[in-house]
């Protein structure tokens, strides 16, 4: 038996079952779900930093979307916030690295 103790995508139990194995699952309450989402966000970020694989960014975004929806916001509302921040503060296209600020 392999122990995971982590949030998994919705179809993972089906995939495990197709391999002839049995997944032991539980449905989390809202508080535990948010903690698990935050842990999963870090896990996906760590995987991306390790491999620099774009597919890991897709996983990272999937978790971010789940957090957004769990907090009661639509992806469209979130995108409006992102675009507003971009308009006010810019994006990252210029590759700027701030070394210091003098008084």
- Give per-residue pLDDT as tens, 46-85: 999 999 999 999 999 999 999 999 999 999 999 999 999 9
Other Cβ atoms within 10 Å of 72 Cβ, number: 7
Residue 94, CA distances (Å) to 81, 90, 98, 102 in order? 21, 9, 12, 21
Tell me how far apart the alpha carbons of residues 53 and 99 are, in angstroms, rounded to a whole number.
28
Q: Give the pLDDT confidence of 17-39 residue by residue, as tens digits.
A: 999 999 999 999 999 999 999 99
* pTM assigned to the model: 0.87
């Amino acid at each position: 038996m392999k122990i995971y103790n982590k949030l998994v995508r919705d179809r993972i139990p089906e995939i495990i079952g197709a391999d002839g194995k049995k997944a032991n699952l539980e449905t989390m309450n809202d508080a535990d779900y948010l903690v698990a989402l935050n842990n999963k966000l870090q896990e996906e970020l760590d995987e991306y930093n390790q491999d620099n694989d774009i597919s890991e960014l897709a996983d990272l975004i999937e978790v971010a979307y789940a957090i957004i929806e769990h907090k009661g916001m639509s992806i469209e509302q979130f995108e409006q916030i992102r675009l507003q921040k971009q308009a006010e503060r810019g994006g990252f296209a210029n590759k700027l690295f701030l070394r210091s600020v003098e008084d």
